[in-house]
Amino acid sequence: MTPTVPELLVGCATALSAQPNAEDAGLYTATRLRTVATLNVLIAQESAVGSAVRLWENSALRSLLGAGGKYGQEFADARSIGDGDCSLATLDEANARLRRLLIRLHEAVEAAGDQKLDREILALYRQMAERRELKLPAARPAT
C-alpha cells in the first residue's frame, strides 16, 4: 500500500521539524520544501476522494468476485465483507481482503483459460488504477 494520509502528514512534520545540519542549507532544503508542498497537494486529493474511491472499488470487487462464484465459495462469500465505519482505515482493511481474493480468482481464471472473465478482470484493473491515480500540480515548462 502507498503510505497513508496520516503517515505522510507525520512525515512532512518530522522532516520540517528536524534540526538541519549546516550543509543541508541551500538547494537540499529548497528541494525538501518543494517536496512537502507537492506531497500536500497529493494528500489533499487523497483526502478529498479517497473514501469515495475505496467505496467504489470495494463494491466493484464484491460484484466481480460474486461473478466468479463457480471458482469457489470463498469468492461468492465476498459479498459479506463490509466497509465498516467507512473510515479510510476500515475501507483499506476490507479492500485488502477483497484484493487478496481477486488475486486468487484471477489465478484460477487464467488457469481455466476463461477469457471472458479474464478480460472483465483486466478492465476492472484499468478502472481501479484510473480512479486511484493522483495528479501532480502543473509546473512551468522549460522555455
Among 2, 73, 80, 116, binds other proteins (CB under 8 A): 2
Residue 115, burial from CB neighbour count under 10 angstroms (0-12, 13-18, 19+): exposed
Among 42, 49, 86, 108, binds other proteins (CB under 8 A): 42
DSSP assignment string, 103-122: HHHHHHHHHHT-HHHHHHHH
Q: Report phi then psi at 26, rounded to 5.
A: 95, -135
48 to 87: interface string for other proteins, x by CB under 8 A: ----------------------------------------
3-class SS shares of the chain: helix, strand, coil, % to 5 = 80, 0, 20
Binding site for other proteins (CB under 8 A): 1-3, 7-8, 10-12, 14-15, 18, 20-28, 31-32, 35-36, 38-39, 42, 92, 95-96, 99-100, 102-103, 106-107, 110, 118-119, 121-123, 125-126, 128-130, 132-134, 136, 138-143
